[in-house]
Structure 1
Amino acid sequence: MGDQHGTSGIPEHYLDGFAGTLTEVAATSRRLTREELKTRRTLGEQAADAGHGLRALVVAHLAAARAAWPAVPGSAESSLATLAAVEQAIDAFAEGYERAQRLTVRREEAARREFIDDLLYGRSDLGRLAERAERFGLRLSRAHAVAVAEGPAPCVEGGPVARRVEAAVLARFDSRSFLLTTKSGRLLCVAPGDEDEVLLHFAQQAYAAMGAADTAPRIAIGRPQHGAGGVVQSYEEALAALEMAARLDLAGPVLRAADLLVYPVLTRDRQALVDLVSHTLGPLTGARGGAVPLLDTLAAYFDSGCVAAEAARRLSLSVRALTYRLERIHKLTTADPTDPAHRYMLQTAVIGARLLDWPNRAL
């Protein structure tokens, strides 16, 4: 047979030898040989590589078997043998088809993982990377932002959390506008910088899917950046935001790198930060019980917007006890937390103490 197409639209060469084999089986009641089964598997692999659907291929085989049936003897034994041969042939063909599909999927997964690694680490030629990105729905000429979700348990590619979040995002947005993947146990979403709703929806779904009773997940969103290098930059900003949130115990669940720019500024000159913390908060170490209770008091006071009642509630103290602590801080440091003129310096020093893990670590 040549490459003509049958009535099912399937090229006839995928059925080469099939009708002749059935005729011979009907006459001899034999089973298919190892070589015949190998041929059918090979044809199945070729059909899969050519992109033909398995359903249409099975229908073509059944139609060929029906067409060959009048040419075979009509005994019950030969009919059963022919049916068994049809079953063997189609099973071998489907086995080859599925094997080719699995290989294709593995190659696609490997290519996707390699692309993601290159995209997030900027290790590939940018021009070539932009070409590969189009295949995965990203146009790197646009600005993109990266959202990173980190939960109590590592997230794996194809795992239940990743599948649940992907299904939820796909149900609402076009899959060609974003890329969802995992990296280092975290769940990532890369989306156009002007489609913030995609990242926010991803964050909501990731929080719901990754949440645990005792540990809430955190999600950070990097700033939109242009080009392939911009994806790397936005990704690194999101990672830095997660790290900063963990160190400072920042409230979430969604943190934006754009809102945390003050913290990298503070850490850029470590010696200046050490001097500020040591000079401003160092005297607290002389308090009974050490500096930690008073430092926690300042943190709660500033985090509650300098509302004494709210700060007391957060610390499980009476307002009177909180007021006493603030007065004690004023006496030890000579800086009054309730005075706006002193508040900025104290609050900056408290942030610095968190960044330096003081007083747990010596300055």
Structure 2
Amino acid sequence: MTGSVGRAGPSGARYDDAWLAEVARAASVDAGGVPVELLGDYLRLLADAATTGRRPRRGELDAVGVLGRRAAEQGVSAGRAVRLYLSAARRLWQQLPHLVRSTDSEAVRAAADAVLHVVDTAVATLAEGYAVARRELVRREEALRRELVDDLLRGDSDLGGLVERTEPFGLDLARVHQVVLASPSRRLPDTDAAISALERVIFDRLGDRDVLVATKEGLLVVIAPADIVTPDRGSGEGAWVGDLGRLVHAELDRMARGRPWQVAVGRPHPGLYGIARSYEEAREALTMAQRLHADAAVIDAHDLLIYRVLLRDQPAMVDLVQAALVPLGRTRGGAEPLLDTLDAYFACGEVATEAARRLHVSVRTVTYRLDRVRTLSGYDPADPRDRFTLHAAVLGARALDWPRQPLPGPPV
């Protein structure tokens, strides 16, 4: 080797600083511009091993582990960090001066064995340090994500602070967003897997649009832009995906076989408070679906607005149910069969044959039950004026989960 003599390596051997720096720069280029600082004393360890056969000490390997952690914290991928180390070893080996001129095969073999040992232990230690840092970063990000989601859904946090906190997650609070809640049939499965799967499919469909996925109170929460009508690249030309709720449900259904999900979609609203409002609507939709014993996979809060109207004056709705439907409980079998019949009858446009099909009973049974309703309540399902009253009472009863639950009493 020609050139000036640099500082001593770990064993006391001396190496040319300019030569080692050039090897480091070339390896950095090979690895896509990874900072040369992440090599630390790795090149000197390699050169020392080739010259003296010395193996790295524990403290020297610990320093490599620290560099692995630093690579993760700087956002360098694990593959590029490892490539930096392997490329540096290859380039240094090709330029080791005493080996380039050596004709002693045994000496070259011994040097190669020593260098490969350093590469093996150093890369393994680098990867271990990288993995530890990544796990810590993931846990930290998950905690920040959960806190951010809690504050966004509460809607009463400082706007300026939230704007700053949402920036790393790519969430633009100036846009119109909607919230989707996904409820598993039983215990929430692997949370990390669910979040990763949802983010992957949403990013694939929406590109780089802002989206946030997290968990809250046993539910999976998705906050996404409302203007998501985009071509579905996987379903052929002319296919469109404009329903975030169905997109979320389809991905969860593929991920967790045997654990059906129910997804509720809040309406889109602008700004920070719009996110909180959409969340409340989605949560109310899930609660209402449970009261109605609805088994629909995807529930749109927009479709349940009538129940919010009906329950806005709950005492009045209780009075209506008591007047129109409580008398149905005097029949044999209770009010439930008559209530189900009214529900099916109104849902199919007052067609008795279709109501019978939906209820899996005969048309005669349907007409008999409707006649019992008229006799017991005094309201005729066939009369246009009475029909509206009965329909509103049935919707209110479903919202109040009556007769499974007793009607709320007057406030004390």
- The interval holding the TM-score normalised by the smaller chain is 0.7 to 0.9
Q: Counterpart of 2:209 in 1: which secondary structure?
A: helix
Alignment partners' CA distance in 2, 1:222 and 1:65 = 60
- Judge conservation of contact 1:169–1:202 (CA < 8 Å) in 2: no
Contact 2:245-2:264 within 8 A present in 1 as well? no
What SS is found at the alignment partner of 1:171?
helix
**Cα drift, residue 207 of structure 1:** 4.2
Structure 1 residue 257, shift from structure 2 partner:
1.8
CA contact (8 A) 2:27 2:88 kept: no
2:66 to 26, 42, 54: 42
2:85 pairs with 1:58: yes
1:279 paired to 2:323: yes
- 5+ unaligned residues in a row in structure 2: which ranges? 1-16, 29-33, 231-240, 408-412
Q: Alpha carbons of 1:361 and 1:60: their partners in 2 closer, same or farther (altered >3 Å)? A: closer
Paired residues of 1:281 and 1:333 also in contact (CA < 8 A): yes
Pairwise CA distance, 1:125? 1.2
| 1:149-164 alignment runs, 5 A limit | 149-153=182-186, 154-159=188-193, 161-164=194-197
AA at the equivalent of 1:6: R
Q: For residues 302 and 11 of structure 1, do their structure 2 counterparts lie closer, same or farther at Cα, with a shift above 3 Å needed?
A: closer
1:206 aligns with 2:249: yes
* 8 Å contact kept, 1:191–1:199: no
Counterpart of 2:277? 233
Gaps of 5+ in 1: none
- In 1: Cα distance, 2:42 partner to 2:224 partner: 50
Asked if residue 261 in structure 1 is aligned to residue 305 in structure 2, the reply is yes
- SS at 1:338 equivalent: coil
Number of residues paired by the alignment?
362
* Residue number in structure 1 paired with 2:366: 322
3-state secondary structure, aligned to 2:299:
strand
Relative to structure 1, the CA distance from residue 31 to residue 8 in structure 2 (aligned partners, 3 Å threshold; closer, same or farther) is closer
- Counterpart CA distance in 1 for 2:290 and 2:137 is 41
The alpha-carbon distance between structure 1 residues 71 and 202, as it changes in their structure 2 partners (threshold 3 A), is: farther
Aligned position for 1:112: 145
Cα gap change, 1:105/1:329 in structure 2, threshold over 3 Å: closer, same or farther? closer
Say if 1:100 and 1:67 are closer, same or farther in 2 by CA, change over 3 A: farther
Inter-CA distance 56–79: structure 2 relative to 1 (3 Å threshold): closer
Q: In the alignment, what sits opposite 2:13?
A: none
Aligned to 1:148: 181
Counterpart AA for 2:269 = Q
Residue of 29, 49, 54 corresponding to 1:25: 49
Root-mean-square deviation (CA), in Å?
2.9
Partner residue in 1 for 2:161: 128
For residue 6 of structure 1, report the CA deviation from its aligned partner: 1.0
Asked if the contact 1:329–1:335 (Cα under 8 Å) also holds between the matched residues in 2, the reply is yes
**Cα distance per residue 1:151-189 (max 9 Å; x no partner):** 313255322x44444333332221323333333333332
The answer as to whether partners of 2:27 and 2:91 remain within 8 angstroms in 1 is: no
Distance 2:372 2:332 in 1: 10
TM-score normalised by length of structure 1? 0.87
Match for residue 361 of structure 1 among 405, 409, 412: 405
Partner of 1:305: 349
Whole-Å separation in 1 of the counterparts to 2:113 and 2:270 = 67
Residues 199 and 125 of structure 1: is their aligned pair in 2 closer, same or farther, counting only changes over 3 Å? farther
Deviations 1:65-110 (CA, angstroms, capped at 9, x unpaired): 3156343575233432332223223332333333333333333333
Distance in 2, matches of 1:276 and 1:98, equals: 63
Q: Distance in 1 between matches of 2:257 and 2:381?
A: 35
1:28: Cα distance to partner?
Answer: 4.2
- Paired AA for residue 281 in structure 2: E
Tell whether the 8 Å contact from 1:247 to 1:354 is kept in structure 2 after alignment.
yes
Paired position in structure 2 for 1:7: 26
Closer, same or farther: CA 207–45 of 1 in aligned 2, 3 Å: closer
Please say if 1:183 is aligned against 2:216. yes
Please say if residues 58 and 90 of structure 1, whose CA atoms lie closer than 8 Å, have aligned partners that are also in contact: yes
For the 8 Å contact 1:155–1:162, the answer to whether it is kept is no
| Inter-partner Cα distance in structure 1 for 2:196 and 2:73 | 27
Q: Which amino acid aligns with 2:59?
A: E
The reply on whether 1:173 has 2:197 as its aligned counterpart is no
Superposition deviation, residue 51 in structure 1: 4.1
For each residue in 1:105-131, what CA deviation from the matched residue of structure 2 results, as whole angstroms up to 9, or x when unmatched? 333333222222221223531111123
What letter corresponds to residue 224 of structure 1 in structure 2? P
Q: For residue 308 of structure 1, report the CA deviation from its aligned partner.
A: 0.4
Q: CA distance change for structure 1 residues 85 and 143 in 2, over 3 Å: closer, same or farther?
A: closer
Aligned-partner Cα distance in 1 for 2:189–2:319: 40
Letter in 2 for 1:7: A
Letter paired with 1:209: L
SS of alignment partner, residue 150 of structure 1: strand
The alpha carbon displacement at 1:235 in A equals: 0.6
Deviation at 1:330, TM superposition (A): 0.8
Q: What's the offset of the Cα at 1:251?
A: 6.0
CA distance in 2, matches of 1:51, 1:327: 72
